Chains A and B, each alone.
Chain A
Amino acid sequence: DAGVIQSPRHEVTEMGQEVTLRCKPISGHDYLFWYRQTMMRGLELLIYFNNNVPIDDSGMPEDRFSAKMPNASFSTLKIQPSEPRDSAVYFCASRPDRGETQYFGPGTRLLVL
């Protein structure tokens, strides 16, 4: 199994640009989670999906952030417009329906100039 796949691994963009982060969960996993990690705030849960349906988006910082999961094998996290304070490492994680531990992807390191 390839594990959770995220792309791109690194993204550098300018303030105001749209950024799209992508995630492919482990096949058969029903839950998908998006996290953001910064030095100041640590690891924060942004949103999670169950069977492609968003369950809890209370961690999404503001309307500039949106996430979708059009099918069981693909999810996107979009930031539009991006701001320098969005610079962080964004992780995607997944887990099976009856599991309790999460499997993390390698992360996308985002720098907004």
Chain B
Amino acid sequence: SQQGEEDPQALSIQEGENATMNCSYKTSINNLQWYRQNSGRGLVHLILIRSNEREKHSGRLRVTLDTSKKSSSLLITASRAADTASYFCATDKAAGNKLTFGGGTRVLVKP
């Protein structure tokens, strides 16, 4: 079964708007990671946040983690058409062994 569940399943926004997606998980984690998948391609790692961190930034990406609620959010600011992709959260219970992926959020950025 999937550890992470993502919300919404799909998101459509205009270029320049912000995109926010959420991930909830069930058990304690060592870290949570976000990956992007362009259509027909493999997954690409975006950002990792550890269980003792609350917020992390990387370029136009902002990730938050609330371990008390077992949830994380990914914010993409000033979206571009090239951000059109599926975004997956993945939880790592034990620092680098198995990742358990959520179902993903499909993001469409309209030019």
Contact = CB atoms under 8 A, between A and B. Distances in A.
Contact of A43 (B33, B44, B88, B92): B88
Interface of B: 2, 31, 33, 35, 41-45, 48, 88, 92, 95-104
Interface of A: 4, 31, 33, 42-43, 45, 48, 55-56, 91, 93, 95, 98-107
A102 B95 CA distance: 12
A42 B42 contact: no
B92 A104 contact: no
Interface centre among A4, A33, A55, A101 (most CB of B within 10 A): A101
A26 to B, nearest CB: 12
5 smallest CB-CB distances across A and B, nearest first, come from A104-B42, A43-B101, A101-B45, A104-B43, A100-B96
Nearest to A41: B2
